Amino acid sequence: MLFNSIDFLIFFPIVLLVYYVIPDKIKYLWLLVASYYFYMCWNAKYALLILTSTVITYLSGILIDAIKNGKIFGLCDSLSLNGASAENAQDNQEAVEEVKTHLKKIVVAISFLSNIGILFYFKYTGFACNLLADVFSRFNVQLNLPEFDIILPVGISFYTFQALSYTMDVYRGEIYAEKNFFRYALFVSFFPQLVAGPIERSKNLLKQLAVPQKFNYEKAKEGLILMLWGYFLKLVLADRISIFVDTVYGDTETYPGYFLLLATVLFAVQIYCDFAGYSTIAVGSAKILGVELMKNFNAPYLSTSVAEFWRRWHISLTSWFKDYLYIPLGGSRKGKVRKYINKIIVFLVSGLWHGADLSYVVWGGINGVYQVIGEILQPLRNRGVKLLGLNRESMGHKLVHMIGTFVLIDFTWIFFRASNIGQALEVIKSIFIVHNPWVLFDGSIYECGLDIKNFWLMLYCILILLIADCCKRKRVVISDIILKQDYWFRILFVSGTVLFILLFGKWGPTFDQASFIYFQF
């Protein structure tokens, strides 16, 4: 079930109505049923996968808690004291704690290997086989590997990471082991953020789901405004831009040079609007249900460095990799060289997480190299700023860095958007070699799927997005301003926004329903 579907517009009000009228003690059960129905609308049998991941991580949490409290394998803190001197008791206690830690690590390893194994099978089996065959073919060895045509379950990367974070949080003692299986199952499958995030932490979401929520009119208003903004980003902007981008990238020979340059710039906006749109709808719908989800985007294209961009883009995933991969690898605690290696590893894994193709790995690797080079050159840049007497707080200085950061990030999006590395290299070559700037002014761009009216409507809407992000950067919350107005203004605003989305979004001329980009990950 897509957020931008009639089905969801029927499903969500029913879920809300029932949730707020049934007894508190069964509210979480109703949300669990609704969440599984929401997911099963894509493919009912794949509900078994999310159930399997849920069972594995639930049991891992129970086992870790039991080991910690000495309730399993005969471990008990009192063993270290029975019939022993104070010195021996201390030694015994240390031995018991060492055994406990070892057993907990085994449980964590089993949980991770099981879940990653499932993810690998569905997402990377074909990729691994093709890569292996290519490697052997370079040595004139032909492998007769079977062909795998496995349908990728929607959202498997998201809910797998969310479930695994719970296992690690219990191991670290940052969250209690949830004893109620159905409440934990709701944490893994909570429908607003199930298939494309934000990837929530158990410390935030699980604790909220443990408390039945009462209807809050203020939260409902805020949630509605967020959902409308998300629908605007997705239906009016992302889906409209996708027509131009798909047309150009679908026929790079007919649309070379500046066609591709413009399409690449617009793709940066498309993927932002598509993913931020989904996340915003998710946050808004959860807020109406009384649940607060983490912010996933914070005006990323107004960043003044690549490092800042990744603090503002897909925040839930970036922070997940920091907490559960970068820090366990050693973070910055083992010297600069190890720190740089760790960053490269994190971004390579992030690229592979996004898709089973080398182009995604290259995309991640380049972003990792950006971070390392930026950090290495930081002292040199600081001396240059001081020598030239530049003001880093000036608008001009920030604007130059914003443009430079956007160019660097947008270059990497070529590998993300292209169907493979080969096409990505062709696109880069065409952009640099084919010089046809006149196509931007002679009307040729209006023949790439969008007529002149829709093209300029797209540009006006991008301007609205830019203004909104500038306000966000300045910590001006537009939704708060809207909600502080009189009721008649709010009614007119909501009605006008809904009408605008209906006229110029999914239900506008020539536009078809499109899935959210990040569903494929």
What is the rounded distance in angstroms from the CA atom of residue 271 to the CA atom of residue 520?
13
Tell me, yes or no, whether 191 and 325 share the same domain. Answer: no
Count CB neighbours of 399 within 10 A. 12
What is the rounded distance in angstroms from the CA atom of residue 116 to the CA atom of residue 114?
6
Tell me, yes or no, whether 251 and 316 share the same domain. Answer: no
**pLDDT score for 91:** 67
What confidence category does residue 85 fall into, taking pLDDT thresholds of 50, 70 and 90? low
Domain boundary among 150, 182, 212: 212
In a domain? residue 429: no
Domain boundary among 373, 390, 417: 417
Highest mean pLDDT among 71-80, 126-135, 411-420: 411-420
Q: What is the tens place of the pLDDT at every residue in 422-446?
A: 999 999 999 999 999 998 999 899 9
Q: Hey, what are 235's tokens? A: 């239906």
Tell me, yes or no, whether 208 and 221 share the same domain. Answer: no
Q: 261 vs 509, which has greater pLDDT?
A: 261
Q: Is the pLDDT of residue 18 over 50?
A: yes
In a domain? residue 108: yes
Q: Is the pLDDT of residue 170 over 50?
A: yes
- pLDDT cut 70: percent of the chain above it: 92
In a domain? residue 438: yes
Indicate the average pLDDT of the chain: 87
Q: Decide: 427 and 245 in contact? Cβ < 8 Å.
A: no
Tell me, yes or no, whether 21 and 146 share the same domain. Answer: yes
What confidence category does residue 121 fall into, taking pLDDT thresholds of 50, 70 and 90? confident
Q: Which residue, among 99, 170, 220, has the nearest Cα to 490 in the 3D structure?
A: 220
Tell me, yes or no, whether 292 and 164 share the same domain. Answer: no
Tell me, yes or no, whether 381 and 519 share the same domain. Answer: no
Q: Is the pLDDT of residue 512 over 60?
A: no
In a domain? residue 146: yes
What is the rounded distance in angstroms from the CA atom of residue 75 to the CA atom of residue 93?
10
Across the range 283-312, mean pLDDT stands at 93
Q: What is the tens place of the pLDDT at every residue in 497-509?
A: 888 988 888 654 4
Report the domain count for the chain: 3
Q: Which residue, among 139, 217, 207, 147, has the nearest Cα to 174 in the 3D structure?
A: 207
Tell me, yes or no, whether 163 and 279 share the same domain. Answer: no
In a domain? residue 201: yes
Q: 89 vs 330, which has greater pLDDT?
A: 330
Domain boundary among 155, 189, 212: 212
Q: What is the dihedral of CA 351, 354, 356, 358, to 10 degrees?
A: -30
What confidence category does residue 515 fall into, taking pLDDT thresholds of 50, 70 and 90? low
Q: Look up the pTM and report it.
A: 0.89
Least confident range of 118-132, 195-209, 297-311: 118-132
Q: Which domain holds residue 13?
A: 6-212
Tell me, yes or no, whether 196 and 74 share the same domain. Answer: yes
What confidence category does residue 87 fall into, taking pLDDT thresholds of 50, 70 and 90? low
**pLDDT score for 288:** 94
Q: Is the pLDDT of residue 334 over 90?
A: no
Tell me, yes or no, whether 395 and 325 share the same domain. Answer: yes
Q: Hey, what are 375's tokens? A: 């950090």
**pLDDT score for 520:** 56
Tell me, yes or no, whether 23 and 130 share the same domain. Answer: yes
In a domain? residue 1: no
Tell me, yes or no, whether 248 and 269 share the same domain. Answer: yes
Q: How far is CA 185 from the centre of its chain?
A: 20
**pLDDT score for 503:** 87
What is the rounded distance in angstroms from the CA atom of residue 389 to the CA atom of residue 373?
23
DSSP annotation of 147: P
Q: 509 vs 173, which has greater pLDDT?
A: 173
What is the rounded distance in angstroms from the CA atom of residue 96 to the CA atom of residue 93?
5
In a domain? residue 404: yes
Tell me, yes or no, whether 348 and 475 share the same domain. Answer: no
Please state the φ and ψ torsions of residue 180, each to the nearest 5 degrees. -85, 110
**pLDDT score for 28:** 93
Q: Is the pLDDT of residue 84 over 60?
A: no
What confidence category does residue 477 fall into, taking pLDDT thresholds of 50, 70 and 90? confident
**pLDDT score for 79:** 47
In a domain? residue 422: no
